[in-house]
Structure 1
Amino acid sequence: MRDFIQILKRFIPPYKARLTKNILYNILHAIFGSMSFVILIPVLGILFRTESDVKELPEFAMNMTTLKNILYYYVTLGRDTIGPVTTLLVAGGFFALAALFKTGFSYMASYEIIFIRNGVVRDIRRMIYRKILSLPLPFFSEERKGDIISRMTGDVQEVENSIMNSLEMFFQNPILILIYLSTMIFMSWQLTLFVLVLLPVMGLLIGKVGKSLKKRSKEGQDKMGEILSNIEETLSGLRIIKAFNAEKKVDRSFSNLNEDYRRIMNKLMRRRSLAHPMSEFLGTIVVVIVVWFGGYLILRDSPIMEAQDFIAYIALFYSIINPAKQFSTALYSIQKGQAAMDRIDQILNAESTIKEPENPKPLKDFNRQIEYKHVNFAYRQDHLVLKDVTLTIPKGKTIALVGQSGSGKSTFVDLLPRFYDVVKGEITIDGINIKDTSTQNLRALMGNVNQDPILFNDTIFNNIAFGVETATPEEVERAAKIANAHDFIMQTEKGYQTNIGDRGGKLSGGQRQRLSIARAVLKNPPIMILDEATSALDTESEKLVQEALDNLMKNRTSIVVAHRLSTIRNADLICVFHEGEIVEQGRHEELLAQNGIYTKLYNMQNF
């Protein structure tokens, strides 16, 4: 319950006004509900002549005897004036009016809680999505995408179904129970004291079953995360699965996960299903005991309650039983939802390793140079990927990075936009350490074209204009022409409004790459990072893409990661990486003259 209170403290404050109205309506609902039962007492007493007639209106006093006598007076007056049958009808009218107010306020309370419930679920989803956008890339290399999707979908849905569904019970039922109990105490404190001893015993027994729900629920949600990860990997790797005839293998893996989930959910649902019959049975036991004890109070020589009082008391008590059972059911649901919330909090509470400075230095333009000063970096503490790398990149120059796979080239360029932070040393732009400016300002200076072009399931126009809110059709078309993409775009069914499918699946590799180049052209950044942009293309596509890249790099500072040395012969400076260090640097002819690693790579490619 303490965890549930913490959830309310986190997410309810924006809805304080609606919560206040909900509580007010619930109080009025409970008051009119108890009034409808209290009306029964004098009606039953006078109409069935178990009480003496009251001919004079007593002075008002806040005690049970006086209030009963006032009601007895009006019922006696009505019976003598309009007859018992008509009086019964009038009393029924008051009873119906009280029920109208009761149900009306109940609806208004539910009306307010709907806004709170759906608003909180929306806020949780938005918080997770924004957190995912703010987390650095290292976080996602350690987490499975399917598990993250599971938390955004299944776990949020579980919070909605469990915790948010329990909000109404949590705010309504305690009020009902409190007001009904107060009325019962007013009617007979002895019998109510007896009830108050029994109800906690029932709650304790139900609570024992609920304790195991949270653990089982977390196991089930973790397993669902594994299932979604498996599905995501299967969809991404269908080509390889079919090529290697591995359908049976992946089917067996999925079936095992699916069966584990079934077993966990069976155990969970069995415990959850126990809540209703258990509370029903215990509630019946309590009613039997209360009826027995109430009968004892009435039938003894000096009764402390009259029969009609006891009937109204039992009606009130029955009205408490249902909220009490719903409250116990809500406690079950909260336990299950808390397990889902714990998994969501693992994302919401994740700390970003890329820290934004409290007072960021302005970095609006790039005027002089980029400097890597004695930079060291490691993905793991025991293995340096970059070792004491120092390099100056003047404005307007093209710097090419070559070397074997795993030598640190891509890591070198990933450090510049702060996808990762250096372990030692620093990177500066115009003398400003990139850690001292905001990542938004830093990345606004850069454009990226990667080996695997990342496109979205949207139109060609929106993919090119991605991140440039004010792009006009003329600007997008001009960028496409610079990227050698305009001709093939116009051959598609709807031109720039053609949808390219998931990850651009309706286009060829060269077409996708040219769209990503057009996107970078439209952004028009002063610094361009090209990470093996042509390595996965055929000869014809490479020629078109290389022309587009040459157009893109004109009058810009470019850092090019390349495997094909023919594409970077004209670079102003070529840096050769080997095991995390820059071991050679110079222009193409100078490096060939050194007869070192670059010459070896060049000769291998020429062969």
Structure 2
Amino acid sequence: MKNIPKLWRYIRNDKGKLLVYFICSLLSTVFALFSFTMIAPVLQTIFTGKQTLPDTKGNIITTITSFFNDVITTDGKMTALTYSVVLVVLATVLKNAFLYLSLRILNPVKNNVLRRLREDMFNKSLSLPIGYFTEEKKGDLISKMTNDIGEVETSIIGVIETILREPITIIAVLVYMFTMSVPLTLFMFLFLPVAGLIIGRVGKSLKKPSNQAQEQLGDMLGTIDETLVGMRVVKAFNAETHQRSKFVRLNNDLFRIKNKIALRRDAGSPMSETLGIIVVCIILWFGGRLIFSGEGSLTGPFFIVYIGLFYQIINPLKNLSSVFYNMQKGAAALDRVESFLSTENNILERKNPVPVNGFEEAIVFENVSFSYGNKEILKNINLTIQKGKTVALVGSSGAGKSTLVDLIPRFHDVQSGKITIDGVDVRDCKIFDLRKQIGVVSQEPILFNDTIYNNITLGTGGAQQADVTAAARIANAQKFIEQKTNTYQSNVGERGSKLSGGERQRVTIARAILKNPPILILDEATSALDTESEKVVQDAINELMKNRTSIVIAHRLSTIYNADEIIVMEKGEIVERGTHQELIARSGTYHKLVSMQQFK
């Protein structure tokens, strides 16, 4: 039950609805009890024609008995029987009417909790730094957002109704049972805690395997995702058997864990029913003993009603025991969801951030260092990029080029030193404004399963068709777009699968052109293209770079010969800097890199 407070923040705005639900459930229970418990006095009165209960003041059964005695005396037994049937039907109709109203009120509350929980998880994923997604398994993240939420829905949210309704029924029935026989009800209470303890111990054992199941499912989803994404490589290297074996192992592990959970969960309902029957038999023995000895006011017909009332709480108790199992099962999923929602975000905005309305002077790196865990990626970087200049970063893989440019839009934060734009530390800038000044074209073009138009206008909002067309024309994308059946409304497929590599890259360039940022980051934007596509894309990039401050991560060095400054990096440090001609003349690291590519 400790998980309910975790969900309270999603429910507290609906406190009024929950109060109405409680009232409707209470009325439904009252009418259910009325229709059930009036049977005994009705039968006694009709078939004996006299009052058989002592006149206990305030006892509802005595009131009902007296009423039917009066009806029999004045109108006869048939009229009394008619009244009883009508009252039972009326009470049943009212019971179900209030039950329906309670469900109509509660269901939107439950669904709203799930809606807000999904929104919070998605918003959290958008707010987390890029570093989080490089460290966590993609499949595990997807599992948290889908399967864990689904488990919370079925195991926790789905039983809110039971948690709220069944205690009302149990309490109301127990109060009624006390009015009928205090000794018998107290005797019954000796056994209920024992039954609850046994059920609780079984339910508690569900949490650990449930957590294991969610983690195993995350691993399996990760394997599915990487297999589907890398299907070309899997087939090219005849790795189907390897991937199949990996999946089968994970799937079998999940199968075993799920069976363990089901075995323990399914034991709950039979166990609670068996314990209930045992208690009933004990009550029969003790109650019969009270009647035979003449102790108390309980008579045979009302003892039958008493047993019937006890059965009225067996189902609610069984439901609550199932709730306990489900809550333990769902607790693991909710813990994983809560763990994700409470993940610390180290890319935070100041309370009073500095607005950024443009770029006028320079980007300056001052003694910047950065590490992933214990691995140092950048070491004491000092670099100034003047407005309107093109600076190229070159070096071997792992030299720190991509990490360096990721620090500018605060995809990561520096761990020592600082980066300033026009003299303002980027950590003091308003993040939205900062990123608005920067356009990014990466090596792998990122497109979403949407239209070409929506992919180009991503993040801009309110763009006119004329502006989109102009951006596509500059990016050399207009021609192939117009050849599509639906032109700009053509769907690009998942990850742009319906477009060629060059076409995907030109769409991303058009996106950057439409954004019209003063600062441009090009992360090896042509390295994955064939020669023909590279030329078309490079022409588009040249158009994009006009009148902008450009930072280019270069793989093919021939594309950056005209850069205003070339920065050569090795193991996170700047080892050389200068123009192409200056660096060639020094015959250092850059000269070796150029020579190697020319030799190839």
Q: 1:510 aligns with which of 494, 499, 502?
A: 502
Match of 2:426 in 1: 434
Cα shift at 1:165: 1.5
Match of 1:75 in 2: 68
SS in 2 for 1:48: helix
For structure 2, the 5+ residue unaligned runs are none
Q: CA RMSD in A?
A: 1.6
SS in 1 for 2:567: strand
Q: Distance in 2 between matches of 1:80 and 1:318?
A: 34
Cα shift at 1:210: 0.8
Q: Distance in 2 between matches of 1:4 and 1:601?
A: 59
Q: Deviations over 1:61-88 (max 9, x none)?
A: 9632xx4444333212211333212311
Q: 1:527 aligns with which of 512, 519, 527?
A: 519
Q: Any conservation in 2 of the 1:53–1:76 contact (CA below 8 Å)?
A: no
Q: Distance in 2 between matches of 1:87 and 1:320?
A: 29
Q: Distance in 2 between matches of 1:411 and 1:419?
A: 9
Residues 1:179 and 2:178 are matched in the alignment? no
Q: Distance in 2 between matches of 1:539 and 1:493?
A: 27
Residues 91, 368 of structure 1: CA spacing in aligned structure 2 closer, same or farther, 3 A cutoff?
Answer: same
Cα shift at 1:522: 0.3
Q: Which amino acid aligns with 1:226?
A: D
Q: 1:316 aligns with which of 301, 309, 313?
A: 309
Q: Distance in 1 between matches of 2:52 and 2:33?
A: 24
Question: 1:228-377 alignment to 2 at 5 Å?
Answer: 228-377=221-370
Match of 1:29 in 2: 28
Match of 1:138 in 2: 131
Q: Distance in 2 between matches of 1:115 and 1:508?
A: 46
Match of 2:14 in 1: 15
Match of 1:154 in 2: 147
For structure 1, the 5+ residue unaligned runs are none
Q: Which amino acid aligns with 1:78?
A: V
Match of 1:462 in 2: 454
Residues 427, 45 of structure 1: CA spacing in aligned structure 2 closer, same or farther, 3 A cutoff?
Answer: same
Q: Distance in 2 between matches of 1:531 and 1:210?
A: 53
Cα shift at 1:53: 8.0
Q: Which amino acid aligns with 1:394?
A: Q
Q: Which amino acid aligns with 2:285?
A: W
Deviates more, 1:70-79 or 1:504-513: 70-79
Q: 2:556 aligns with which of 555, 564, 576?
A: 564
SS in 1 for 2:576: strand
Match of 1:603 in 2: 595
Match of 1:551 in 2: 543
Match of 1:92 in 2: 85
Cα shift at 1:412: 1.0
Q: Deviations over 1:121-152 (max 9, x none)?
A: 11111111111111111111111111111111
Question: 1:181-200 alignment to 2 at 5 Å?
Answer: 181-200=174-193
Q: Distance in 2 between matches of 1:293 and 1:189?
A: 13
Q: Distance in 1 between matches of 2:312 and 2:245?
A: 53
Match of 2:58 in 1: 63
Q: Deviations over 1:356-403 (max 9, x none)?
A: 21221111211111100011111132x321111111111111111112
Q: Which amino acid aligns with 1:92?
A: V
SS in 2 for 1:393: strand
Q: Any conservation in 1 of the 2:50–2:69 contact (CA below 8 Å)?
A: no
SS in 2 for 1:12: helix
Cα shift at 1:48: 2.3
Q: Deviations over 1:335-358 (max 9, x none)?
A: 101111111112111101212212
Q: Any conservation in 2 of the 1:53–1:73 contact (CA below 8 Å)?
A: no
Match of 2:199 in 1: 206
Cα shift at 1:51: 4.3
SS in 1 for 2:297: coil
Q: Which amino acid aligns with 1:203?
A: G
Q: Any conservation in 2 of the 1:480–1:486 contact (CA below 8 Å)?
A: yes
Cα shift at 1:443: 0.6
Q: Any conservation in 1 of the 2:216–2:253 contact (CA below 8 Å)?
A: yes
Q: Any conservation in 2 of the 1:531–1:560 contact (CA below 8 Å)?
A: yes
Residues 214, 352 of structure 1: CA spacing in aligned structure 2 closer, same or farther, 3 A cutoff?
Answer: same
Cα shift at 1:579: 2.1
Cα shift at 1:41: 3.8
Q: Deviations over 1:173-229 (max 9, x none)?
A: 001111111111112111111122222211111112111111111111111111101
Match of 1:395 in 2: 387
SS in 1 for 2:363: strand
Q: Which amino acid aligns with 1:80?
A: T
SS in 2 for 1:29: helix
Q: Any conservation in 1 of the 2:447–2:496 contact (CA below 8 Å)?
A: yes
Cα shift at 1:36: 2.1
Q: Deviations over 1:538-572 (max 9, x none)?
A: 11111111111111011111111112222112211
Q: Aligned pairs, how many? A: 598
TM-score by length of structure 1 reads 0.96
SS in 2 for 1:251: helix
Deviates more, 1:517-526 or 1:184-193: 184-193
Structure 1 segments of 4+ aligned residues over 4 angstroms from their partners: none
Residues 1:490 and 2:482 are matched in the alignment? yes
Match of 1:38 in 2: 37
Deviates more, 1:267-276 or 1:77-86: 77-86
Q: Which amino acid aligns with 2:568?
A: V
Q: Distance in 2 between matches of 1:50 and 1:307?
A: 16
TM-score by length of structure 2 reads 0.97
